[in-house]
Structure formats: structure tokens, C-alpha cells
Amino acid sequence: MNKVLLLNILFWIFSVFAIIYITYIYYEFTHIKEGNVFQVIPDTFNKVADLFNQIARFFKYMGKIFTCYIPGVMGWLFDHLKCAGDKIGTLFDCFVYYLLEVFGKIIYFPVMLIFWFSNSTDLENKIWDTIEGIDKKIFKSSGLHICHYSDYVIKKCYKCEIRRLVHPPKW
């Protein structure tokens, strides 16, 4: 978006705010009750000052949106698209690992159901902790894992570097 178009948009937004506020001030002056003239004039100046404060807050907020939020969201979206492209590119190299994982989940599913129906998920967790301890000992001595993939395979086939999504600035 070029700067002239952006300035035109901001000018029209400012103009709409100003027209609404001027209409409101005119309404206030045309409905003054007797004896309230001196109270309405300071209130009107306070409202005009409040209008300019709100306009300043709006431009400050839009500055934060254009400098922080939109580039952050675009970077986050780009990271996801890059990750999808990387995973599609490594699909043939990682297909065996994906197939092993699906096969393992299918085989483990009945065992998981038995633990779940017998309400012994604590026992299941203890068994997996024991297997993980054995895996660590085997990995220290031989460099091979028995219950999960190596760090290289996890990084190549399962992980992506994606920055955190920024939150929009507070008004």
C-alpha cells in the first residue's frame, strides 16, 4: 500500500471523527437549558480535548499495529508455510518413520484400551518411565534409542522453528 493511499484513508477517518464530534457539540449548544451556559462551555472544551486525545491514541495504536503486529503475524504465517514446504520436501525421506509411527500406534491401541478400561494409567506411566530409563542407558552405551527416534530424525521429520504469534497491542 503506498503512502498517499494510506494518508488518504487516515484523512477520511479523521474527517469522520471530526464531523461526528462537531455534530455532537452543535447538539449540546442547541439544547442548553437556561442557566447552564457556563457549565456547557467548559464541558465542550473538555470534549474537544478528549476528541484530540482519542485521535492521538488512534494514530499511536495504528502505528503499533503497522510496526509490530502485522509484521509479526506475517513472519508467523511465513514460518508455517516454510515448515509445510520443508515437511513436504522431506516426505520421502521421512515416510518410513511416519509409517513406523502409525504401525506402532495401531499395535499399541489395544494395550492402551486395556490400561484405560482397567483404570491403571498410573501403571502404564510407570512402565513407560521404566522403558525410558532403559532407553537412556542403552543410548549412553551404544548411541541408539529403543523407544523413540533420534534427535536428528525428530528435527528433520517432526519439528519446525516457528516464532510465537504476537498479540495485538492493547488499546
My answer on whether 68 and 94 are in the same domain is: no
Sequence-separated (6 or more) residues with CB below 8 Å from residue 93: 156, 157
Query: Is residue 171 a part of any domain in this protein?
Result: no
Judge if 7 and 64 occupy the same domain.
Answer: yes
User: pLDDT of 123-150, one tens digit each?
Assistant: 888 988 998 899 888 888 888 888 888 8
Residue 109: the pLDDT is: 92
Per-residue pLDDT tens for 76-109? Answer: 899 999 999 999 999 999 999 999 999 999 999 9
Tell me how many domains the chain contains. Answer: 2
Shared domain for 94 and 54, answered yes or no, is no
* 38: pLDDT strictly greater than 60: no
Q: Does residue 78 lie in a domain region?
A: no
Q: Is residue 80 part of a domain?
A: no
Q: What is the mean pLDDT of residues 55-72?
A: 82
**Residue 141 carries which DSSP code?**
H
CA distance 113 to 124: 11
> How many CB atoms are closer than 10 A to CB 58?
15
Residue 95 has a pLDDT of 93
DSSP state of 168: P
> Residue 29: inside a domain, yes or no?
yes
Domain with 55 in it: 3-72
Interacting residues of 72 by C-beta distance below 8 A, sequence separation 6+: 163, 165, 166
